[in-house]
Amino acid sequence: MKTILLLTISNVFMNLAWYGHLKFKNEALWLVILASWGLAFFEYCFQVPANRLGSNEWTVPQLKVLQECITLVVFTIVAFALFRSPVKWNILVAYSFVVGAVFFAFKF
């Protein structure tokens, strides 16, 4: 559970670093790159310990698939909160395939 919490926090920073700069399109590119790198630092402060802890109970591929699922959940929240981006049915279908990947990665 600690791994999932740390990965979730990490993904908040990751999504803000990757997409948050789109709210500041009028700022200089070098400035938003620097800000994104600053956010990415905090992403890694949570991601590295999460993967170290998680590797004690899960395989690396399992960690990766789990991380992708967490990323989609966090991304959906960030996309709606920052950009009011609606979740359409085709996106939900695509997400369900990722959830299926998590199931297969952990069950077999």
Please state, as a whole number, how many other Cβ atoms lie within 10 Å of the Cβ of residue 97.
8
Q: Whose CA is closest to 64, among 105, 34, 25, 26?
A: 105
Q: How do residues 21-77 score in pLDDT, each as one tens digit?
A: 999 999 999 999 999 999 999 999 999 999 999 999 999 999 998 999 999 999 999
Q: How do residues 94-105 score in pLDDT, each as one tens digit?
A: 889 988 888 888
pLDDT bracket for residue 5 (50, 70, 90): very high
Q: Is the alpha carbon torsion for 42, 44, 47, 53 positive or negative?
A: negative
What span, in angstroms and rounded, lies between the C-alpha atoms of 29 and 54? 36
The model's pTM is 0.86
- Measured in Å, how far apart are the chain's first and last C-alpha atoms? 21
